[in-house]
Amino acid sequence: TRSAMVQGQFNLLALAQRATGPVQRGV
Report how far residue 10's alpha carbon sits from residue 15's, in angstroms, rounded to the nearest whole number. 9
DSSP 18: H
* pTM score: 0.53
**Predicted local confidence at residue 26, as pLDDT:** 64
Q: Residue 10: its pLDDT value, please?
A: 94
Count other C-beta atoms under 10 Å from residue 15's C-beta.
Answer: 10
**Distance (Å, whole) CA 24 – CA 2:** 33
Q: Residue 15 corresponds to which amino acid?
A: L
Q: Give, as one character, the DSSP assignment of residue 27.
A: -
In the chain, where the domains are located: 1-27
* Spans of the chain, pLDDT less than 70: 24-27
